[in-house]
Each structure stands twice: as structure tokens, then as C-alpha cells.
Amino acid sequence: MKLLVTGGAGYIGSHTVKHLVEHGHEVVVLDNFSRGHRWAARWGSVEEVDLLDLESLTAALRRHQVDAVMHFAAFALVGESVRNPELYYRNNFVGSLNLLQAMVANQVSRLVFSSTCAVYGNPHSQKLAEDHPKNPVNPYGHSKLMVEQMIDDFRHAHGLQACCLRYFNAAGCDPGLETGEVHDPETHLIPCIFNSLVSGKPLQLYGTDYATPDGTCVRDYVHVLDLASAHRLALEKLGQCQTVYNLGTGRGFSVREVIAAVEKVTGRRVMVQESARRPGDPPSLVAAGGRAQHDLGWTPAWTDLEATVASAWRWHCQYFCQA
């Protein structure tokens, strides 16, 4: 298939593009490079377009005549979304509205959308299934939930075939070291621990008194390559599968467990500075596995946290040593 991948120069997008090309798909990366990297857009052709520019977006879709779209492009920093909600509603919601409009104008009717477990808000149960109530606690989560709603409405009005994939914590990097994770600022735990190791500054550990086994927050770390394969599988089943899937391993790890895994993989000791809880951090976010496995035939291959951390560390060393 010929696919347009928005945000294909970003962390998850670029890994997915590589995976899609390896599986015989033709890819056009569409990115404005506001948060992505030119070096990461190394497969397929590239359109430097902002989703907020409806005219250029529609023209790009007309030029390429794609069969489907994968939509990763968004801003995804929770704290920034709280400070600057207008940025998030404009980029994530209006940008997605433009994309859907441009798709309808070009008769492109297949879409896989990057959603997030942030649509659930504070969990009511140990593990989150797709039917868990959706009560986002920040503008980022709201903006994603609004896009899900809009996709649903386009499904009914325009016959869109779409699947929303709600990821838990993306982690790890391409073992081939051709792309990887580089965010600025970095907010994801594993690269933040690496940054602390490299800089010698202590890692801030927010909250040690949660109702979790060791008092620190528990998260479900899903390898970016498993996210990539889930996108391909969802694309192949569009129209025959459900409209929403959680993507997680079903296993949670605490911050302290992740630190221990990093220490084991790197052979270095992580300096930690314990501080107060951050507002808006739920104690535990773990996916209830099942639906994606059952319907899409998706089984996460990366279930060993140390292997995930090792893949990220190799990338980190290569990228930051060369930088």
C-alpha cells in the first residue's frame, strides 16, 4: 500500500515508517519538523508540510494519491499542554480536523490514529481496558479524545475506516540504530535516566509515597517496534476490526524498577533526588491486554524491560556521542 505518515520524522513515527518500508509498503512522510528530525525521515519521500496549512496538506494528498494515512503528528508534552492549552487544541485538534478534511477531499478513507492512555485520566481499576471511562486530566489528553470523537463522526458521515491506538509508555529504540528517541525537552523516564547518567545530575524522582509496591509510579513500557507492528496490523484489518485498541504489554514497572534495569544494563549507578509528587501523575497506568492480541493478532515481542532499556541505551550512546 502507499501510505502517508504524518509525524514520520518523530520518535514513534520514524520507527513505524522503517517497519512499514521493511514490510513492502511505500511511504510518504509528512512533517513540519517542529519536533522531529530530518535525519529520522530517511525512508520514503518527504513532504515538509504543517497540518495547520490546509491548502498545502490537501495538495500533498492530491499529489501522492495514497491508500491510507497513519497520523502521528501532534504535540505530546503534558506540562506544556497545561501551560499552553491553545497550542494543543490548535495543533492536535485543528491539525487533525484539517487532515480529515483533506482526506475526504481526496477520497482517502483509511486512517490509523495515534491516541494515548491519557484519554482515561485517573484509573478506576488496576488495569485499563478500552471500555474504562474516559476523563482526561490535562489538555493533551482532552485534545486526543476530541480527535477520537471527531474520527467517529467522520466515520458515520464520510465512511471513514479508522482505528485509534491508545499507547501506554513508548520505550526503546531501533536495534539497527537507524533511528531513535530524541525529544527536547526530554520527559520520558528512560532517556531522562540516561541524561542523568551522562550529565552527572541527579534524576528527579517525583513521589515515593504512592499506593504501589515500592511507593513510586508504575507504568506499562511498550517497545516502539511493537507499536510499529501494531500499526501495520491495524491497517491490514481496518474495517474488520474494532475502532479502538490499547497498546501496552499488560505488565507494569515502577520507577525504581526502571532505575534498577538501567543500572543493570549500563553498569552505572543512578543518582536519585527524591521529590514531591507531581500533580496529575496517576499511581499506576497499565494496559489490560487482550483486545489487540485477540483481534489484530498483536503480541508484544519486547516483554523484557532490560532488553528494551538496552535498545534505548545503545541508541543514546550512539546519538549523543556523535552529537
For the chain, the farthest-separated pair of C-alpha atoms sits apart, in whole angstroms, at 56
What is the rounded distance in angstroms from the CA atom of residue 319 to the CA atom of residue 233?
30
Instruction: Specify whether 140 is catalytic.
Output: yes
Residue 66's alpha-carbon distances to 1, 59, 230, 273, in angstroms, are 8, 12, 20, 49
Closest CA to 271 of 189, 199, 221: 199
Is the Cβ of residue 91 or residue 109 nearer to ligand NAD in the bound state?
91
Active-site residue (options: 11, 120, 140, 167): 140
Our finding on whether 13 is near ligand NAD (CB under 6 A) is yes
Is the Cβ of residue 35 or residue 232 nearer to ligand NAD in the bound state?
35
Q: What residues between 166 and 205 interact with ligand NAD by CB under 6 A?
A: 167, 169-170, 183
Could you list the beta-strand ranges (E) of the chain: 2-6, 26-31, 45-48, 68-71, 110-116, 161-167, 169-171, 203-206, 218-219, 221-223, 244-247, 253-254, 272-275, 284-285
β-partners of residue 115 are 166
Q: What residues between 94 and 153 interact with ligand NAD by CB under 6 A?
A: 95, 114, 116
Considering only residues 73, 151, 255, 292, which one is a binding residue for ligand NAD as defined by CB under 6 A? 73
Our finding on whether 74 is near ligand NAD (CB under 6 A) is yes
DSSP assignments along 45-66, one per residue: EEEE--TT-HHHHHHHHHHH--
Considering only residues 3, 4, 5, 12, which one is a binding residue for ligand NAD as defined by CB under 6 A? 12
Which residue type is seen at 67? Answer: D
Q: CB under 6 A: which stretch of 6-14, 78-86, 206-214, 266-274 binds ligand NAD?
A: 6-14
Which residue type is seen at 283? Answer: P
Buried residues in 182-191 as b, exposed as e (16+ CB within 10 A): beeeeebbbb
Bridging pattern class, strands 110-116 and 161-167: parallel
Q: CB under 6 A: which stretch of 1-9, 198-206, 272-280, 302-310 binds ligand NAD?
A: 1-9
Is the CB of residue 129 less than 8 Å from the CB of residue 290? yes
- Packing angle of the helix pair 305-322, 255-266 (nearest 10 deg): 60
Q: What residues between 37 and 56 interact with ligand NAD by CB under 6 A?
A: 50-52
Residue 276's alpha-carbon distances to 123, 244, 272, 279, in angstroms, are 21, 35, 13, 9
Is the Cβ of residue 31 or residue 106 nearer to ligand NAD in the bound state?
31
Our finding on whether 31 is near ligand NAD (CB under 6 A) is yes
Is the Cβ of residue 11 or residue 302 nearer to ligand NAD in the bound state?
11
Is the Cβ of residue 116 or residue 229 nearer to ligand NAD in the bound state?
116
Our finding on whether 76 is near ligand NAD (CB under 6 A) is yes
Our finding on whether 308 is near ligand NAD (CB under 6 A) is no
Considering only residues 43, 72, 154, 315, which one is a binding residue for ligand NAD as defined by CB under 6 A? 72
Q: CB under 6 A: which stretch of 7-15, 126-134, 238-246, 257-265 binds ligand NAD?
A: 7-15
**Residues marked as catalytic:** 140
State the residues that interact with ligand NAD by CB under 6 A: 6-7, 9-13, 31-36, 50-52, 72-74, 76, 91, 95, 114, 116, 167, 169-170, 183
